[in-house]
Amino acid sequence: MSVVVSPKSWMCPPGWTGVVALNGAILATVPSADLVEPVQGALIRHLARASIDLALLPPQLPVLDLLGPATLAYLEAEDFVAAHTDAEVESLPVGHHDVRELVASVDKVESLPVGHHDVRELVASVDKQDADECTLEEITSEAFVIREGRKVVAAAGYQQWLSMAAHVSVLTAREHRGRGLARRVASAAVADALASGLLPQWRARPEPSRRVARALGFREFGSQISIHLRC
pLDDT of residue 50: 57
pLDDT of residue 133: 81
Helices (H), 48-158: 97-105, 117-124, 128-134
Note down pLDDT in tens along the chain; length 231 residues. 899 999 999 889 999 999 999 888 899 999 999 999 999 988 887 666 656 788 888 888 899 999 889 999 999 999 999 986 433 344 456 555 555 554 444 448 999 998 899 999 999 998 888 887 888 889 999 999 999 989 999 999 999 988 899 999 999 999 999 889 999 999 999 999 999 999 999 999 888 899 999 999 999 999 999 999 987
Asked whether 180 and 83 are in contact (CB, 8 A), the reply is: yes
Q: Name the phi and psi angles at 194, rounded to 5.
A: -65, -40
Q: Which residues of 76-98 are buried (b: 16+ CB within 10 A; e: fewer)?
A: ebeebbbbbeeeebeebeeeeee
pLDDT of residue 86: 38
Q: Name the phi and psi angles at 133, rounded to 5.
A: -65, -40
pLDDT of residue 49: 62
pLDDT of residue 48: 60
The CATH 3.40.630.30 portion of the chain extends over 73-221
CATH of 73-221, one of 3.40.630.30, 3.40.640.10, 3.30.565.10, 1.10.10.60: 3.40.630.30
